[in-house]
Amino acid sequence: MIVNRKPLTFLEKLYLPAIAGGFKVTARHLFRSLFGGKTVTMEYPEQKWAVPEGYRGAPYLVRDQDGNTKCVSCQLCEFVCPPKAIQITPPGPGGAADRPNAEKMPREFEINMLRCIYCGFCQEVCPEEAIFLLKDYSITGLTRQELIFNKEKLLALGGVHPGIRKWKHKFEEAKDQEDFPVKV
């Protein structure tokens, strides 16, 4: 299909009306910000957008209330990750976990943030609720290697997430039994 382009008029060929139109928009925003107190820009990166709840930012590993690693190195997230951004090194024979009710934890856990597409599959598939897409959307670095986050970095960024521990200690289960049913 041939698209016949409309020839430019004399004024359009001068480009001056288009430049004047651009200055008009700039001047309007300038006066609004000077006298109306309304700004359309922000001081990024000092100022950042407030992202809504449930926003899918960068995936990080989280710790439970006691500060223990929740990941049990099952490698499901590594398997489902579409761009193969996750690389887990299992603990090998005798590798112990740092929390009760877990047999193992990863020796190393890397996420290549250059590959990650923030799809959330890792979070969906994780049986231990150990990996979450948090609100961090500004992932920058000076080298490619810098953007491969290791286990320590992922755990530090993910932080402690109370209230999402899958397995409870025996004393907490007993307490739940005492409190149930709730008396009114």
Using CB under 6 A as the criterion, which residues of the chain lie in contact with ligand SF4 when the complex forms?
59, 71-77, 81-83, 85-86, 88, 111, 116-122, 125-126, 128, 130-131, 133
What is the full DSSP assignment across 117-179? ----HHHHH-TT--EEE-S------SSTGGGEE-HHHHHHHH-B-TT--SS--HHHHHHHHHH
**174, two tokens:** 């007993």
CB of 151: closest distance to ligand SF4 in angstroms? 10
Other residues' Cβ atoms within 10 Å of the Cβ of residue 72: 20
Q: Quick one: 64 or 128, whose CB is closer to ligand SF4?
A: 128
CB of 47: closest distance to ligand SF4 in angstroms? 26
Q: Quick one: 71 or 134, whose CB is closer to ligand SF4?
A: 71
CB of 81: closest distance to ligand SF4 in angstroms? 3
CB contact burial 141-154 (16+ within 10 A = b; e otherwise)? eeeeeebbbebeeb
CB of 70: closest distance to ligand SF4 in angstroms? 7
Q: Quick one: 131 or 134, whose CB is closer to ligand SF4?
A: 131
Q: Quick one: 29 or 129, whose CB is closer to ligand SF4?
A: 129
